[in-house]
Structure 1
Amino acid sequence: MLISNILALAASVSTVAAQYKGFNYGSTNTDGSNLLNHGGFTSARLYTTVQAGTANTPISAIQAAINTQTTLLLGLWASAGQANMDNEIAALNAAVAQYGSAFTDLIAGISVGSEDLYRISPTGVINLSGPGADPDVLVNYINQVRALNLNKPIGHVDTWTAWVNGSNAAVIAACDFLGMDGYPYFQNTQDNRIENAEQLFIESYNATVAAAAGKEVWVTETGWPVSGPNQANAVANLENAKTYWDEIGCGFLFSQENTWWYTFQDAFPTTPSPSFGIVGTELSTTPLFDVQCPA
């Protein structure tokens, strides 16, 4: 893989950055094969520490991150029960033992779970989002990770609608940071046309901050799809993806907030619908739209 070219693309996508800025990266493709090892952006968010197809082998993205000095927002999958969490923690411990400070110095934070609270919400259930985890389960997992004494921020990633739900307050109390996922495209009970996307996102961000009880809010997922079906008044296309990048990414997040954009490369060989990959589904150094931020 042309790491040097990807690094060049990374350097072009923003102006002055917040402490952490990067992209989300999946662990597998739609056919179950591994994604190419790539970590050539400033920061990368992972959803699991376990290499696909293994029980608890550390994910190969860690070595890629070390090779390219890419910081990592680590993810531990939390919707598959205690046995799976044991494997996540085993993989994390194994990576620390194997790589030492070359790895730990790159850890921006550790997210225990991703959208687990959303998936058990009425909306998540209606949308057939799959298994989630209750607040008390997540708090237990967070405490297990905190007991590793890695001296890194520990938090949880969820939709902004989950964070403003008072029944999830125990998770907020257990976190060092809140990872917020916000997509105006999916807010299909509102007038979510691209002209209103900036306002909708800022409202969701401010609501999350208000619910955070003083904890840091990191934007762990946001973006606009380059293709796919309409969601109410939201149209998925390259023009709107570019507009959203300019207004939300360049205009607000990249210079002010820790941000992991969704997403760099979408899964393949089957293109998801909607698809959010700024390079599409094929690994490339050429984005589908101009990622230079306006002056």
Structure 2
Amino acid sequence: MRFSHILAFAAALPSTLAAYKGFNYGSTGRDQAAFEGEFNAAKNLVGSSFTSARLYTMIQDGTTNTPISAIPAAINTGTTLLLGLWASAGDAQFANEIAALNAAIAQYGTAFTDLIAGISVGSEDIYRITPIGVENNSGAGAGPDVLINYIGQVRSAIAGTAVDGKPVGHVDTYNDWTNSSQNALISACDFLGVDAYPYYETTKENSIANANATFWDDYEVTVAVSQGKPVWITETGWPVSGATSGQAVASIDNAKAYYDDVACHAFASDINTWWYILQDTGADPSFGLVGAGTPPPTTPLYSLAC
């Protein structure tokens, strides 16, 4: 896909927000200090500042429904939040997610709610119940009817609060969005979050030479089915180390090339983007933009200049 086409798609999309630029952040083992260290490192990266965070859950690790400590960390660091409510663990657990959201609104007030970029109900839930998701042992998922119900629950929960009117949507893989069985879910969303990784798309010619075209083709087909809803880039990246996947070679040089082709174009097109990932020390493959350190270092493994 040519960059001029990317700009045309971005210009055609309705948006209620200025573009956000951030990373994805897990919750396991993290306390407020850990989140603050990561958020500050992201803000102060040499060459580019990332000031938004995408979360997967509202619940603090190890608790039933205590609000995640990323929230006070975001308040202290001025980091905007794409909130996530985990939607693949059943109704009782989703009720805990909503309880944590309600508690956070009550506890932190507008210091929190002013930072909200949007609310994602679930993440790749549909992908995990597709044949390829099952084959890859991706874990429990949820179907579109469940997600539509949960989106309605979130809208009811935030009605009349300072969060009322914030965009509520869902995140899934591009090939699940393009399945016509998701049309009702798309209708229920204010935005679509798309996750796309050419590195893993081994049914295609997926060398780094084709990665730029593959990613933007994935984005384009999602836009085509979006019913005019904004399409946000919620996960993508290229590993700096790890096994070769099809024709995709994990390396710092290739991660840099992918960043130049995808991230820089997304930023220039004012597309809300949450990159994967600031730091994932010890992961294989590793997508971490920075190496080991607590807090994370602020010098990236490759230049972030666009």
TM-score for the superposition, normalised by structure 2: 0.85
Give the 4+ runs in structure 1 shifted more than 2 A.
32-35, 38-41, 251-256
Q: Which residue of 1 aligns with 2:272?
A: 258
Q: Which residue of 2 aligns with 1:288?
A: 301
Q: Which residue of 2 aligns with 1:52?
A: 61
Q: CA deviation at 1:251?
A: 2.7
- Quick check: 34-43 or 204-213, which moved more? 34-43
3-state DSSP of counterpart to 1:147: helix
3-state DSSP of counterpart to 1:37: helix
Check conservation: 2:266, 2:273, Cα contact below 8 A: no
Q: Percent of pairs identical after alignment?
A: 62
Letter in 2 for 1:20: Y
CA distance in 2, matches of 1:65, 1:33: 13
- Residues 1:191 and 2:205 aligned together: yes
Q: CA deviation at 1:254?
A: 4.8
CA distance in 2, matches of 1:129, 1:222: 17
CA distance in 2, matches of 1:221, 1:281: 21
- Residues 1:163 and 2:174 aligned together: no
| Partner residue of 1:88 out of 91, 97, 115 | 97
| Partner residue of 2:134 out of 108, 115, 125 | 125
Check conservation: 1:21, 1:254, Cα contact below 8 A: no
Q: Which residue of 2 aligns with 1:4?
A: none
CA distance in 2, matches of 1:134, 1:146: 19
Q: Which runs of 5+ in 2 are unaligned?
A: 1-16, 41-49
- Residues 1:237 and 2:251 aligned together: yes
Q: Which runs of 5+ in 1 are unaligned?
A: 1-16
3-state DSSP of counterpart to 2:35: coil
Q: Which residue of 1 aligns with 2:165?
A: 151
- Residues 1:220 and 2:229 aligned together: no
CA distance in 2, matches of 1:107, 1:117: 25
CA RMSD of aligned residues (A): 1.5
Given the superposition, is the C-alpha separation of residues 287 and 18 from structure 1 closer, same or farther in structure 2, using an over 3 Å criterion? farther
Letter in 2 for 1:205: Y
Q: Which residue of 2 aligns with 1:37?
A: 35
Q: Which residue of 2 aligns with 1:102?
A: 111
CA distance in 1, matches of 2:260, 2:53: 20
Q: Which residue of 2 aligns with 1:274?
A: 285
Given the superposition, is the C-alpha separation of residues 153 and 72 from structure 1 closer, same or farther in structure 2, using an over 3 Å criterion? same
Check conservation: 1:181, 1:221, Cα contact below 8 A: yes
1:123-178 Cα distance to aligned partner (Å, 9 max, x none): 10111111100110010000000112222100000000110011122211110000
